[in-house]
């Protein structure tokens, strides 16, 4: 849902900014690299210290680069396999930094091994969810499924919860409970999404294999 509607909205909003960057001679790849570096810095510098509000502010400023670089490439007519590969690869790096920063907090000053484990599961399951789709497509399957919690949902749920939880340091009572709740939601949702994709790939693979076997046996299909 977020991929379909929110991405379209922010793409329209960020189009003038993308055009400005093009006029300044900045390349889409440079935006991709800068955005990923900013997200990693925000997550790995602020989150392990428990500075969830300011960390989320920094991450949010840079995370929109994921929309800006693609917008720039389309305006320039330079959409390419390399650009898609770089963007997808660095998305995984950024996701790892966000959940890695949270895991460092819970393993250290946050002092909660259970939530540390849940955060690590969010990190790992998110990577595997992305891998299942990429691997399925690489063997010629469409992987035609809309998962319950995909990357956009994982980021929004986690970052919104982090940002609001950070208000605890500004004196807002009990709001820090939002982050543990969000992490459990992301963990469960990612597990469900993983099962959805695995089941879909298994079904599509079985159908594709059956079609291939049917051609030599029955000759020309009708």
- The answer to which of 2-11, 20-29, 108-117 has the lowest mean pLDDT is 2-11
Q: Which residues are annotated as a binding site for Mg(2+)?
A: 66, 69, 87, 91
76-80, 184-188, 218-222: which has the highest mean pLDDT?
A: 184-188
95 is catalytic: no
**Distance separating alpha carbons of residues 7 and 132, to the nearest angstrom:** 22
Q: What is the mean pLDDT of residues 216-221?
A: 54
- The answer to which of 62-66, 135-139, 171-175, 200-204 has the lowest mean pLDDT is 62-66
Q: What is the mean pLDDT of residues 110-139?
A: 95
Q: How far is CA 183 from the centre of its chain?
A: 14
pLDDT in the model for residue 3? 57
Terminal CA-CA length for the chain: 37
Q: What is the mean pLDDT of residues 135-156?
A: 90
Q: Which residues are annotated as a binding site for a CDP-1,2-diacyl-sn-glycerol?
A: 29-32, 70, 74, 80
Q: What is the mean pLDDT of residues 161-190?
A: 96
pLDDT digits (tens, 9 = 90+) for 21-72: 999 999 999 999 999 999 999 999 999 999 999 999 999 999 888 788 888 8
Q: What is the mean pLDDT of residues 68-91?
A: 87
Q: Which residues are annotated as a binding site?
A: 29-32, 66, 69-70, 74, 80, 87, 91
Q: Rounded to 5 degrees, what angle do the CA atoms 146, 149, 150 make?
A: 70
Residue 214 above 80 pLDDT? yes
Mean confidence (pLDDT) of the chain: 90
**Distance separating alpha carbons of residues 173 and 91, to the nearest angstrom:** 34
98 vs 77, residue with greater confidence: 98
159 vs 211, residue with greater confidence: 159
- The answer to which of 77-86, 161-170, 184-193, 210-219 has the lowest mean pLDDT is 210-219
Residue 67 near residue 17, CB atoms below 8 Å: no
Give the length of the chain.
222
Residue 10 above 80 pLDDT? no
């Amino acid at each position: 849902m977020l991929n379909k509607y929110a991405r379209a909205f922010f793409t329209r909003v960020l189009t003038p900014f993308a055009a400005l960057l093009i006029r300044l001679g900045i390349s889409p790849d440079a935006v991709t690299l800068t955005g990923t570096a900013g997200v990693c810095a925000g997550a790995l510098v602020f989150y392990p210290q428990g500075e969830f509000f300011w960390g989320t502010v920094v991450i949010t400023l840079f995370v929109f680069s994921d929309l800006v670089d693609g917008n720039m490439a389309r305006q320039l007519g330079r959409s390419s396999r390399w650009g898609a590969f770089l963007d997808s690869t660095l998305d995984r790096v950024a996701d790892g930094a966000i959940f890695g920063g949270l895991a460092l907090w819970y393993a250290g000053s946050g002092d909660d091994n259970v939530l540390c484990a849940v955060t690590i599961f969010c990190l790992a399951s998110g990577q595997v969810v992305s891998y299942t789709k990429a691997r399925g497509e690489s063997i010629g399957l469409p992987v035609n499924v809309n998962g319950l919690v995909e990357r956009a949902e994982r980021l929004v749920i986690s970052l919104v919860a982090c940002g609001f939880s950070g208000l605890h340091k500004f004196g807002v009572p009990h709001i820090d409970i939002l982050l543990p709740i969000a992490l459990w939601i992301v963990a469960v949702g990612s597990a469900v999404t993983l099962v959805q994709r695995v089941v879909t790939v298994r079904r599509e693979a079985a159908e594709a294999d059956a079609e291939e076997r049917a051609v030599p046996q029955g000759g020309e299909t009708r």
